[in-house]
A and B are shown apart, each in its own frame.
Chain A
Amino acid sequence: MLKRMTTAEPRLLSLGGCAKPGVYEDIHSRFSSVLNFIMGDRIVSLCDASHAPGPFRIITTGLSLEEITAVELSDDLLRLNASLLPVIVSDIYQPPVFTEPTDTDLLQRNLCLSSKYLSQHASSDSLPVLLSDPASAPLSFQGQLAQSLRTGLDLFSLGKYREGTNAMKRRGMGLTPAGDDLLIGFLIGCSWLEVTRKKQLSKIRECVYFAALDNDLMVNTFLYQGYALLVDEDWVDFLLDLSRSEIFSYRSMDRLMGHGASSGADQLLGFHQAVKLFGI
């Protein structure tokens, strides 16, 4: 009963640069390691240290999230119920500016390795596995889902981005439905290609983004992150790995694929679809 914590007091590990000062009291959803607040039309997530830093995330340690009911953010102070945590500039998270890779052969090679790793290691419930198997029982939920997604991807390859997006969005298992995760990954792919490979994809990106938006604030926030390439640290690590790693380590992919039930794998699939479609 008389416990002793080894991490002493509550600490702020990272404050997302997109989290605006103010009082957050409207709770969107609560999980054991994440508390999601509504900030206008976006979600700001208060997370424990098991989550990667991100522009819309506040990462803390030494706190029991269960008891938090409100967050107050000012320029130099974060107030969580009774705890006051000072905010210093180095705590603030902004994703880096991505630059053109110097070695495109390396990039190409890493992309291939990554795609292969994804198809080999994604879990059986995820889209990479589902979509690679043409024989998934048509009359099951997953089977129908697979059909819809294939249709959507076919429409993409025909240049019909709005229709394609509509065929894929808001479908699938998970609190962020699998089709939405695919679109999020696709947007990350588009915006990354634009920035690092100078592809002209802004119109396509806009079209997919606005077609994908719906009334789920959490999904909308993720879509925005993909559209604007304001990604979380784990995606940053993966993207940097692709461009720079002499020996692609897969560690960043493992971290992404550990997300949710299949969220990470589904997003990676979307990313690779974008790369396949537009090339580097």
Chain B
Amino acid sequence: MKTIAKIIQGKYLDSVKLMLISRKLREVPGVEDAVAIMATEENKGILAATGMLVDEILPAKDNDIVLVIKGEGDPEAWLSLAEDLLSGKNDKHSGTGKEVASASLESAINHLEHPDICLISVAGKYAAAEADKALDRGLHVMLFSDNVSLEAEFRLKQKAISRGLLMMGPDCGTAILNGVPLAFANAVPRGKIGIVSASGTGLQEVSVAIAHQGFGISQAFGTGGRDGKEEIGGIMLHACLDHLIHDPETEVIVLIAKTPEPKVLEKLWDQIASTPKKVIVNFLKPMETPNLPNIEYCHYLDETAAKACLALSESSPYPLSIPSLSSYVRHRMIEGRKGAVKGLYSGGTLCKEAALIYAETFGKEPLSNLVKDGPNRVKDIWNTDQDCFIDLGEDEFTVGRPHPMIDFSLRAKLIANEGKNPTTTVILLDVVLGWGAHPDPAAELVPVLKALPERIKVVCHVLGTDADPQQASKQKAALEAVGVKVFSSNHEAVDHALAILAEGGEES
């Protein structure tokens, strides 16, 4: 049994606060007694009678307030909690930084010891000007905003590169710099694999898969979705790739993008040829690559991560466990198959990957909103009897509404709607965790999932780590508790969902 005591002070420390602190401390497991009292002689007498009169209290004067805690456990931790309670650090994000706001870029820069990067998420029409100002001041830029013109993007990227600065975006939602996740990104360990990605969720999926296999990320740059277009000329793709090629902390490089346009592609192959470092390339669809000794190409995100880890462990002098690539179900034919699968996605790249896997499995495209028109364009997402994959992050769903990674109301409605559709047998979901995302997606989904009829099987890909604020394993457990089959890889989840479908609604 230990007793610890401290004379405490605080602004406006009144009886109510003292009582609340005592109560909160008594709730800590192991604490037997905790009181915040005036150190009068009489109170000291009571403390003596209960064996709580420790030396720290003896010099306290009559009108000092003293906090005494007795129990089994770590007294330092109790005191630390007491400090927090005294200073009112009890909000959601009890960070170490103090909140600073500035009225101008100049004074903001002056407030920082290391002003490095400007994260811009204001409306598109103002965003380019802000990025311009930031670059002028020598700051890297992460441009989360979209609705920025191609011309502005080109101009900004040129300016950036001429000053040795990053201009990630527009529409760049994910980056990890020097181990710090920026905007929508996951808490992954630092390590030797560097990523350049034109896709946010692609970056998230690969970085998390790498983390799950015990490896880490040196840097993860986002380039924005249009960098590979000829008008932009792949400025950031090239510059970031170049950086990773020369970065001593990076041993293996991952490159994810929609297929860049020919001139950009040429230059990328040249760059890759110039380095001995292994580069894992994923352009999100099957294609042929030049025969270079250090290139590995794959069009699945989990495979990308696996190959990167494999490349790293091969070059490591120590024997590491080799991550195995799971075997996937291929080419099941749809004979007498009952029911339909509905994919309701918040991550665009994950949705595209799902549609791709579907096409490879069944030999035809599913309905989706991934195409703008044509026979595979879904007409009415509330009324479809066929297999259909929806990217809820597309503009048509996000006008006037928060992104589905933050707000689950639309998805919940769609899930409930599928429950009423007698042809639906499988629902496929992604739950993207990490900084920036909803603090408890499982809590949002569980009620509507519980209400689904027996006939519908739900498969979910939870993208995240246990270091993320939501804690991936907690989310997984909550979803599994209502009968959801959870996978940590998009590929595995999709495969499983399609397998259920091919088996006619039975789980394989």
- Which positions in A face B, CB cutoff 8 Å? 30-32, 125, 139-145, 148, 169-177, 179, 214-216, 260-263
Contacts and interface: CB of A to CB of B under 8 A. Distances in A.
B46 interface: yes
A22 B250 CA distance: 75
Interface stretch (B17-25, B236-244, B264-272, B356-364): B17-25
B492 to A, nearest CB: 52
B50 A176 contact: no
Interface stretch (B32-40, B284-292, B296-304, B482-490): B32-40
Contacts of A176: 15
16 contacts: A31-B14, A32-B12, A139-B50, A141-B37, A144-B46, A144-B49, A148-B46, A170-B42, A171-B46, A173-B22, A175-B15, A177-B40, A177-B43, A261-B15, A262-B15, A262-B19
B51 interface: yes
Contacts of B324: none
A179 B43 CA distance: 10
B16 A125 contact: no
Interface of B: 12, 14-16, 18-19, 22-23, 32-33, 35-38, 40-43, 45-47, 49-52, 62-63, 65, 68
A172 B43 contact: yes
B46 A173 contact: no
**What secondary structure prevails in chain B residues at the interface with A?**
mixed
Contact of B19 (A32, A169, A174): A174
B42 A140 contact: no
B22 A170 contact: no
A260 B18 CA distance: 10
A175 B41 CA distance: 14
A261 to B, nearest CB: 4
A109 B36 CA distance: 38
A252 to B, nearest CB: 21
Given A141-B52, A173-B22, A174-B15, A215 B42 contact: no
B197 to A, nearest CB: 41
Contacts of A170: 38, 40-43
Contact of A171 (B19, B32, B42, B52): B42
A144 B33 CA distance: 12
A141 B47 contact: yes
A262 B16 CA distance: 8
Contacts of B15: 173-176, 260-263
B11 to A, nearest CB: 8
A139 B38 contact: no
Closest 4 CB pairs of A and B: A261-B19, A170-B40, A170-B42, A261-B15
A169 B42 contact: yes
The residue among A142, A175, A179 with the most chain B CB atoms within 10 A of its own CB is A175
A140 B33 contact: yes
Given A148-B46, A170-B40, 18 more contacts: A31-B12, A31-B14, A141-B52, A142-B35, A144-B50, A145-B46, A170-B38, A171-B46, A173-B22, A173-B35, A174-B19, A175-B18, A177-B42, A177-B43, A216-B38, A216-B62, A260-B16, A263-B15
A260 B14 CA distance: 8
Contacts of B43: 170-172, 177
A216 B63 contact: yes
A3 B481 CA distance: 50
Nearest to B32: A140
Contacts of B22: 173
Contacts of B46: 141, 144-145, 148, 171
The residue among A32, A171, A179, A216 with the most chain B CB atoms within 10 A of its own CB is A171
Contacts of B23: 125
A243 B200 CA distance: 74
B425 to A, nearest CB: 54
Nearest to A140: B33
Contacts of A142: 35
Given A261-B16, A262-B19, A177 B38 contact: yes
B41 A141 contact: no
Nearest to A262: B19
Nearest to A181: B15
B42 A141 contact: no
Contacts of B16: 260-261
Given A30-B12, A141-B35, A215-B62, A173 B18 contact: yes
A144 B42 CA distance: 11
The residue among B15, B22, B50 with the most chain A CB atoms within 10 A of its own CB is B15
B481 to A, nearest CB: 34
B19 A139 contact: no
